[in-house]
Amino acid sequence: MEKSKSHYRSITVLLTGIIVLTGIAGIAGNAAASPVDRVSAGQLDANVAVDAESDETTVQLNQSEIDELTERTIERVEKIRELEFKEDVDVEVISVEEFADRNRDAFADTSESEATRENVKWEAMMMVNESTDATELQQANAVEGPRGYYDPEHERVVLVVDDEASPELNELVLAHELVHALQDQHFDISDRFHFSPFERPPMTQDELNAKNGIVEGDAVRVEQLYLDRCSEEWECQIPDRMQADDDELPDRQWGMYLVSLQPYSDGPNFVNHVESDHGWEGVNEIYENPPASSHQVIEPEAYPDDEPATIEFTDRSSSDWELVEGEGDQPDYESVGQAGAASMLFYPYYDSDRDDEAPVIPVLSFLNLTDSGELSEYRPVKYANNPYVSGWNGDALYPYVMETEAGAKETAYVWKSNWETERDAERWLDGYTELLNYHGGEESDENPNVFVIPDDNDFAGAYYIDRSGDTVIIANSPTEEELPAVYDASAVNGERPSEDEPVDGGGSDDSSDGLSGFGIAVTVVALITVASSWRRLAER
């Protein structure tokens, strides 16, 4: 059946409607309200109100009712997860404004070095151009529609509501965040996984997505099973959420959104894969040996043996360029992983007219639709189905900075990736070249393996690309003339450099560690699967 542009736009709107938006620091905040078709007060004496104009049902509770709902939800989570809470968990209700203030305070601690590294990372994925502050976009994404997070410092769940005096709560949100409290009590995720709503963990984007694969995958899987019980045997406090009109896409940075969404889309499947074979005890054991990459979450059969390759790196820059080193325990490089690589090739769909003919990756190879045209309930995005990145085996992205005579700062980077086979490396370059072409990149007339994006386009600059066997090098600089100073003069001019030279200037040899992908307070999204919501799509 032929699909119209409005059909795919509807899918996009629906995808945002099922998201749980929270969490300041990315790894901690996680659940949110989602659209459902029903609400039931259950055994609670809740105030159920119906807006006469919108016909939207809300559930408004007082403090005693919140306490009772919390106690009931704890019992239900224990039953599903087959794990008991060691201690009681307090629930705090705050306003959207208070959440925004806490979020703002977290971003205020962003150092100049951290901000530069974030800018370079998102620029390398061609999601945020050089003239835009990536940290500001992260803050905007993080504040958009928050509904709750777990605060390990105070060992409590924080629910974010529009009206503190008459809070509207979603039992699924509460259940999701209570799972995080349960995880912390049994597996110490706050210390071992740096799980905190307001602190930056010393991880790369890929390592963060990998850890979230089990942490968020576990919570969302419990959510899914919880919702099934609500449909079949339990009375549940789940408010309705109206769908946005087709043309009313939320104002957020979709590239960052897609990268952060991956553990919530693939994580439940990863957890279900383990639980089906080894029960919940098997899932508990994953916390002792968490996934090492988003690849292991995207493709569960890769866990635990298929670990990322070691990435050897030699700093070949001139003295004018400096590596932007990590602070504290943060390494001197980033790793976006299979999730980030897949997202960057699909992002042009959102950057363009969102037609069925996406610029690089076709819509139907990324969004997971059933035969009847519905968005999949439990795994709406197919990160595993991207042919350009399926052979990912490790990557390391090194950011550089140079101060000009005028006092301004220019940035550049060298990005090295390893692939399962030479053919996989070739396909990655095919996809990356299509992305360059989309942004107006053209091959240089003077230098082999160099593309130039004109100054009047986003991501203007020069790009050196080269493949040696199963390894790909991408080097970027503001101009073609600067490329040799960033990477290697002989390489840019057509001679492949030797990789057996000693590391100089902060290189690293392990791609499984790295700088946190969400930085300070990157948007975190989670996904609540509601079958009735998907069915609406088929009717459009």
3-state SS string over 133-155?
A: CHHHHHHHHHHCCECEEEECCCC
β-sheet bridge partners, residue 146: 21
Instruction: Record the pTM.
Output: 0.83
Low pLDDT (below 50) residues in the chain: 1-2, 8-10, 13-14, 17-58, 242-246, 496-540
pLDDT of residue 371: 81
pLDDT of residue 303: 97
**Which 3 state secondary structure label does DSSP give 241?**
coil
| pLDDT one-digit tens code per residue, 176-213 | 999 999 999 999 999 999 998 777 788 999 999 999 99
Around Cβ 76, how many Cβ atoms within 10 Å?
21
Q: Does a cis peptide bond (omega within 30 degrees of 0) precede residue 304?
A: yes
pLDDT of residue 406: 81
**Which 3 state secondary structure label does DSSP give 213?**
helix
pLDDT of residue 497: 46
Structure tokens at 182: 């349960």
pLDDT of residue 313: 92
**Which 3 state secondary structure label does DSSP give 130?**
coil
| pLDDT one-digit tens code per residue, 28-41 | 233 332 222 222 32
pLDDT of residue 25: 30
**Which 3 state secondary structure label does DSSP give 419?**
strand
Q: Determine the Cα–Cα distance for residues 30 and 212; give it in Å rounded to an integer.
A: 10
Q: Determine the Cα–Cα distance for residues 81 and 79; give it in Å rounded to an integer.
A: 6
Pairing between strand 409-419 and 392-403?
Answer: antiparallel
Three-state secondary structure string covering 354-401: CCCCCCCCCHHHCECECCCCCECCCCCECHHHCCCCCCEEEEEEEEEE
Sheet holding 90-95, edge to edge: 90-95, 156-161, 148-151
